[in-house]
Structure 1
Amino acid sequence: MKKGPFFAVILFITLCVIQCKEVEKKKLGKKSKVFKSMIKEGDFSAIVDGEKVSLYRLKNKNGVEAVFTNYGQCLVSLHIPDKNGNFSDVVLGLSNIKEYVGPKGGFFGATIGRYGNRIANGSFTLNGEKYSLVKNNGENHLHGGEKGFNAVVWTANVIGEDEVEFTRVSPDMEEGYPGNLSVFVNYRLTSDNELVIKYSATTDKTTHVNLTHHSFFNLKGEGEGDVMDHVLTLNSEEFTALNKNQIPTGEIIKVKDTPFDFTSPKVIGEDINKNHEQLVIGNGYDHNFIVKEFPTNKNGIPFAAKVEEPESGRIMEVYTNEPGMQLYTSNFLDGSVIGKSGKPYLKRGAVCLETQHYPDSPNHPEFPSTILNPGETYSSICIYKFLVKE
C-alpha cells in the first residue's frame, strides 16, 4: 500500500505530540506520586487578636500543593516532586498556629511589610516630616517592626482551587508608618508549577512601601540538613555594601572576583566562609543583589535567580519586576527551632530569595524610590517556578 501525504502528516503530528510530552516531562518530572500532607486543619484553627485563623490549600493539575494560613500569609508547606515523582515539602515551617504566634514564629513563609529589610535608626523623613518607626533590630527597624504584616490576620478570598487573595488595611501610623494602606496579595499556583505572587497597595497619605515574601527553601526537603550543596545562579553583577549594622553604606560593589559572584552556577557553600568583610558582617550571605532587567520570561518579567539541588533534581527559578533581591542563607538558625516534621532547623538549613527594593531606601535618595503617593498603585510580582533536572 502506497503511503501518501496524508500518512506523512499523521506521522509528523504524532512525533510532535511525543516530543511535547517529553518536554513536559522534563519540566514537571515523572508521574507524580500521591503524598499525604502532615499539615492538619485543626492545628491552624484559632482566634488570634479577635480574628479567625484558618488554612488555605492551593493545588494544580500536577499534584503540587501550597498551604497558607491567613496569619501573616505564611506559606506553611509547599510539596514539589523530584525527578522520580516523589514529593517533598521544600519550605521550612511550624506545625501549628500557636508556634507561629509564639516567639519562634519568626518570618517563616510570611509576607513582609510595610517595609521588607532594614531601615536605619528606625526613622525617615518624608515631605519634611520625620517619622519614627518601631526599633526591633538593635537601633534599626526590620521587616515592618514588632507587629509587621507577618504577625497580623488577613482576610482571605478563595478565588479557585489554585488561587487565593489576602487583603487588609494597615491603619495610619501602624508601627510608625503614615497613611491608611490598603494591601492586596494574590497567590496562584499555575500548571507550569509556578507560585505567582502579585502585590498591590494604595494609600491615602504619602508613605513608603516595600513588600516581599520570606520563605526559607531547602530543595532536598525541610529539615534535611543544610543547603550548602545547592547550586545557585544570580542574574546580578552588583550588590549593596553594608556597614557593621547591616545598613547599606550607599556603595554598590561589583561581584566580579569576590565571593558574591554567582553570575555562573556555583555551590552556595563554596565561598561562604571566606574572610571577606561583607561575609563577616552578614555572618554569611545576607545581602541585597541588584537584579538585571534581562533576560525575562515569556511575560517580560526579569529572571532573578536559579537554585538547583543535585540529588533530587529539583530546580527553582525566581522572576521579579523588583530592582533587588535579598540572598539570605539562614545564618542565624541554630537548631533550637523544631520544624513541622520534628527535625531541628540548622544553621544555613535554607536559602531565602526575597524580591524587593533596596534596604534603607527611605534614607538613600540615590536608590530606587519606595514612596507611594495617594492616587498611585504599588505593584510588585514575584514568581517561584519549580522544575526538575533528569
Structure 2
Amino acid sequence: MSTDRSLAEALADHIAASGDLRSPEWRRAVLDVPRHEFLRDGFFRRTDEGHVTGWEPVLPDDPTWLPACYANASLVTQIAGGIVPRDIEGRIFRQPTSSSTMPGLVVRMLEELGVEDGMRVLEIGSGTGYSTGLLSHRLGDELVTSVEVDPAVSGRARAALGRIGHHPRMVIGDGLQGHREGAPYDRLIATCGVLRIPVAWLEQVKPGGRILATVGGWLYASELACLTVHEDGTAAGRLLGGEVSFMLARPHTPPPLGVLPDFAREGTERECTVPGDALTDWTARFVAQLAVPGAQRFSLMDGDGDMDVLLDVHGESWAGLRNEKGRWIVREGGPEPLWRRIEDALLRWGRDGAPALGSFTVGVSAEGGQTVSWPSSAG
C-alpha cells in the first residue's frame, strides 16, 4: 500500500472516530481523493514570535509536507490576497486569505448537506478544490458547480482536480451572487463565512433544497447554519453548533478602523453590569455580535494597562473596557451605547438558561432580512 493511501485511511478512521464521517459514500471519497494533490504548491506553517504571528512555507520537498497533508488540520495556502508558499523564503507577517479546510470539518459539512444521487450542488468558495473533489467523486462532475472569486485560487483548484481526473464546472465570480446559469440547485454549500445569507442563494436553490453556510460577524464567533428553502422564497433552519470558523467572504470583511477616538478621555464612564471578559466565551460573543452587528473588537495597550475596545466605524459608537483591581469599568461614546446593548443581550440570554448555539434558529426572508434567535424560557 502506498504511503499516501495509508495516510488517507488513517485520516478516514480518525474522522469516523470523531463522528463526523458516518456514511460509506463519503468514506470512499476520503480514501479516493488524495488531499496532497491539492497542496502541491505547499502550505504555510504558523510560527509565533512573542505577540506576532508569522508564516513560513512548507513545500513538497520538506519531509513534514506529506504527513501534514493528511492531518486533520486546516492548512493556510495564501497570504495577503495573493502570496503563495513558493513566493517567499523565510517568514511573512501578514493575514491568511485562503486555506485548505480541516478535512473533518469538510466531511462533517458534506454529511450535514444530505446529498443524494442525482442532486445538483453549488459550492461557494473553491479554495484548494479538495471539497470540490469530494463532491465530484460522490455525485459526478456534471452535477457540481464551484464558484471562486480569486482567479489564481480557482486556477490552482482546477489544475489539481484535473490531475486526479475530475472536471466539474469551475466558475470565477462573486460567490455571494451564486451562479444563476446552473440553477436551480438541490443543495448549496459555502466554504467561506457570511454575515447574512444572500438573497441570490435563496433564489437559486429549489424549494425543499438545503443551504449550509457559516454565519458569523465581526466579533469572530460563527456557526454552521443549515437552512431549508421554502416555496415562498424564504428559508429557515438552525445552527449546528461546534464553534465553526471560516474566513469571511471578501465583501463581508470589516471596514478599516480609521482614526480612533480618545478611548481614555472621551465618552462617559461607569461600572459594567457584565464583566468585560465575558466575550472570551464563544457563545457569549456570538450573542454579543447579534446585539452590535457593526462592531469590531481589538485591544489597546497604554500606560494605564490593557483596554478591550469595541468600535462601530459606521455608527461612530465605541466602548472601552478596563479591569481595575477586579472591577470592570466601561467608557462609552457615540450615539449608541455598545456595551449596554451587549449587556442587555447577554443578561437576557442568561435568564433564558444560556442555551447552546445548537438550539438557535435562523430565518431569512425573501428580501434578505435575517433573524437569529435562541429558545426563550418564557416559552
Whether TM exceeds 0.5 here: the answer is: no
Q: Which has the higher strand share?
A: 1
| TM-score for both structures, normalised by structure 1 | 0.25
Higher helix share: 2
